[in-house]
Structure formats: C-alpha cells, structure tokens
Structure 1
Amino acid sequence: MVSGPEAAPPHPLPGAVGLSHLSAYDWAATDGVCGGSPHLHLVCTEAYVVTGGRGAVQTLSPDGYREMPLEPGSVAWFTPGTVHRMVQGGGLRVTVLMQNSGLPEAGDAVFTFPPEVLADPGAYTAAATLPPGTGPETAAAARRRRDLAVEGYLVLREALVAGDDGPYREFQRAAARLVRDKVPGWRDLWRAGALAAAERTGAQLDALTGGDPAYLTEATAYEAAPTRLGGYGMCGRRDEYALPGTTLPYEDER
C-alpha cells in the first residue's frame, strides 16, 4: 500500500535505488553449500545490508575469489561484472539495495550457467524463467535454476583460484552478448529513473542558487509495505515492493 496525495509517488526512493528483502535459500548445492544462484549484473552495483542471521557472500572478480562474512549490521556491495553467491549460515536476512532501479528486473543479471546454455539464448531463457507464483512447482524450478548456476560457477571459481581468469572473462563476454538487445530499453529506464533523479537535484541546486525555493511547496511524504512476500528470487525468498522504479516484478518471473 502507498499513502499520499496520489496512488503512486512521482519520485523514486532516494537516488532511484531498488529495494527488496531476501531470506537466503537453505537448499544444499552439490558442493554442500546452502545458498543462492550465482550471477552478475552488467551495469548495476548491488549492496547487502544484513538485518539478521549469519552467512557469507562469495565473489569472483579480477581480485580473485573472496568470501565475505555477513552478520547483522554488516554491509557488502559489489560492482558490475562481479559474480556473487549468497551463502546461508543460519537465518540470514538481507535488505538489498540496487543501483538503477528497474534495470535488474529488466534483465540486468545473468546466471553463471554452463557455457553451452549461455551460448543459446533460447536455452538460457528456458533455464532462467520460473513458473508464476510461489507454489511447489516454482520452488522446484528455482532450485533447478540455482543448481545449474552453481554448476557453471564452480568451474569459474576453480579456474580463478588456480590463476586462470580465462573462463571468468569468457563468462562476462557471454553475459554481455546475451543482454545486448536489451540495452535500448535499459537506457530508457535509466533516463526515467537514476538520471532523472540526479537531474532533479541539479535543478533544485540551480533554484536555490537563484534564490527561488518554490519547488519546496511540493514537499510530501509516502509510506509503503511489501506487496509480494516470499517470491523466488536469485539469491533467496524475496519480499518486493510494487512501487514504480523500486521493485518491479522480475522479467518472466526471473
């Protein structure tokens, strides 16, 4: 629900960020680790703000392989191109802040599926798409998707630990090829969201410089609560907000 003078706020959250809450999956993968589906984002930085439980986030980047512990009060963030895997350590609960709200839900995330899946857009879409809803069929599909992503991820991690960044680099290139056709739509979302928010601040600074704070007459406040609880996200069960530019439904329920 949203309260205010209009049904939907004309302005996004501060900085046009995306917002959701995650409870990390507790399904064990083939390596015995419980957690989410490894993936990367192409143009968005993501942050975890830990609000409960324990766990970790595993990352692959030009820095190599890292595992950062997560506990209440800790914050971890990763820039575009960083493969990340949320690991459940017990009751892990995370608030997720996403740069460029709207872009992640429009496809700015690619799972670490094996190369043969990444090379076939149709096969990739079939593997990445979940049935609608939150029932047993969706849960089973989410687990299969996670397991397939872990399969590809473990190969990338093993090579990177051994000093070979070739598979990791090729995964980045394959991810870029998969999303190339989506970029014009992303540009529109960016202009309407993050860029518009920054330009609005610039206009306000200009107004203050000119001694005209008339825009302050538009001041108001909003409130909201999650409108979908327990959806199946990439890293875990996901609570979402149906606010413009905040947490739009994932494309094809991904």
Structure 2
Amino acid sequence: MVSATYHGFPAAVGVSRLTVYDWPTVEGLPGGGTPHLHLTCGEGYVVTAGRGAVQTLTTSGFEETPLEPGTVAWFTPGTIHRLVNDQGLEITVVMQNSGLPEAGDAVLTLPQDLLADPETYAGAVRLPADVPDAEQAKAARVRRDLATRRFLELREATENGDPEPLAAFQRAAAELVRPRLDAWERRWREGAHAAAEATRAQLAALRGKDDTHLTAARVSATGPAARGRFGMCGRLAVYPGI
C-alpha cells in the first residue's frame, strides 16, 4: 500500500538563491553564467532583483528571454541555457527532481574533446577546494568562459542551418551521464515519484472517506547550508534536504 504522507519539500523540487556572476563575458556582456543543459530536470527562475536575460538554445533555435523582478521563467530538460546579468541580477531557482542536479544532471557546453568520457569531463569542470576565494573565482571564470565560447559556436552553427554540432553535443552529454542513471532513478523514486504517489494515495483515501492522513501534518523549516558557493551561473545559497 502506498503511503499517503510525504515530508519532503513540495513536489520534491530543489530551491536555491542565486546571485548571477557580474564578470564581463568573452563577447563583452556586463556579466553572466556558464551555459549548460540538464538531462532530466526542468528549471524555473523567480527573479527577485536586478535586470538581465536567459539565453537558450534548442533544436528549435536561439531565444533570449528578458528577466526583471517579478518575472517567472522556466524551461524543459535539454534546453541549453545561459544567464546574462545586466545589473544586479538575483534569482530564486526552482529545480525539478531535487538532488539530481547535484548528482551530475547538468552538462556544460565544453569543447567536444572534454566530453570524451566522465573522467575527462569531471577534471575539466572541477573547481579547486580548500583554496582562497579568489582562486576559486578565477577557476570558475575560466570554466565559464570556456563553455561560453563553445555555446557561441553552437549558436552560430544552429542559426546558420547546421544542426550537427548541437546534435553532437547532445549525444555526448547523454553518453556522459549514462553510468549514473541507476542512482538517478533511486533519487527520483525517493523524491518526485514518492511525492506524486503520496498525492495519489491521498486522493484515493479522501474518495473512500478516509481522512487519517491529515493527522500526520507537520511543519518544517531550514536555512542555507552554504552561502556564496561558486555555482555554474553565480554565487549560490544552497538549502539542505530540498
């Protein structure tokens, strides 16, 4: 029998607060994040401060969505995305399948040779630990600029009617994550699947005039487990267990 209780964050989504990098980009924009895609997770932005945009690239082409306070924007898995920071852009990020993004669901748009195998890719994206903040920032910026140059190449090829570079990146990204799929499925079953199944059980119970799951109601709260962490798109405040 499926349990009618689920105590995780609603719908098993992940939440973080993001201050987008203000480092000038390789093509001269005021600031911005590292282009990447997610293999199985949709992502949403709730803009809380500043101005900017999210640039996206799919097989349908390139788009730019303006972002300002009050904007809510979201996209599906497979969307290459890149945040552009025009002025003080801050976002609350809502991520599908809490835990999967941190488990390697994101793949950066690095040059094709760095996507050859999981070990090569991991070495290319790893930031140094236990070093001064300035050294981590330098490494994060180098990583961002490398991915941005490839993103601009993929965008140009797509806009010029050549779909193969983007398709090759998608194939490489899918191959990189294949060894992790069993672990991802376990996280999904314990998170998003369990949350949906709890709702199904609650509906069935209420239909049968059984309201006992209401007696298991509870309240939870938490604060950031880490502040200022160097993420793909900016400095992150990360919440545990969400």
User: Under a length normalisation based on structure 1, what TM-score does the superposition of the two structures give?
Assistant: 0.90
Q: C-alpha separation between the residues in 1 aligned to 2:169 and 2:186?
A: 26
- 2:240 corresponds in structure 1 to 242
Q: C-alpha separation between the residues in 2 aligned to 1:87 and 1:220?
A: 39
Report the count of equivalent residues. 235
Report matched runs for 1:218-229 at 5 Å.
218-229=216-227
- 1:189 corresponds in structure 2 to 187
- 1:44 corresponds in structure 2 to 41
- 2:3 corresponds in structure 1 to none
Say which is worse superposed, 220-229 or 101-110, in terms of deviation: 220-229
- 1:100 corresponds in structure 2 to 97
- 1:7 corresponds in structure 2 to none
User: CA shift at 1:227, angstroms?
Assistant: 2.1
Residue 2 of structure 2 corresponds to residue 15 of structure 1: no
Report matched runs for 1:180-219 at 5 Å.
180-219=178-217
Report matched runs for 1:1-254 at 5 Å.
11-33=7-29, 34-132=31-129, 135-243=133-241, 246=242
User: CA shift at 1:161, angstroms?
Assistant: 1.4
Letter in 2 for 1:163: G
Q: C-alpha separation between the residues in 1 aligned to 2:117 and 2:189?
A: 30
Can you list the C-alpha shifts for 1:206-234, whole angstroms capped at 9, x where unaligned?
A: 11111111111111212222121110111
Q: C-alpha separation between the residues in 2 aligned to 1:204 and 1:86?
A: 39
Letter in 1 for 2:68: E
Q: Identity, % of aligned pairs?
A: 56
Q: C-alpha separation between the residues in 2 aligned to 1:132 and 1:15?
A: 32
Can you list the C-alpha shifts for 1:179-232, whole angstroms capped at 9, x where unaligned?
A: 000000000000000000000111111111111111111112122221211101
Q: Where does the alignment leave 5 or more consecutive residues of structure 1 unmatched? A: 1-9, 247-254
Q: Where does the alignment leave 5 or more consecutive residues of structure 2 unmatched? A: 1-5
- 1:251 corresponds in structure 2 to none
Letter in 1 for 2:7: H
SS in 2 for 1:168: helix
Q: C-alpha separation between the residues in 2 aligned to 1:168 and 1:120?
A: 18
**RMSD across aligned positions (CA):** 1.2
Letter in 2 for 1:56: A
User: Under a length normalisation based on structure 2, what TM-score does the superposition of the two structures give?
Assistant: 0.94
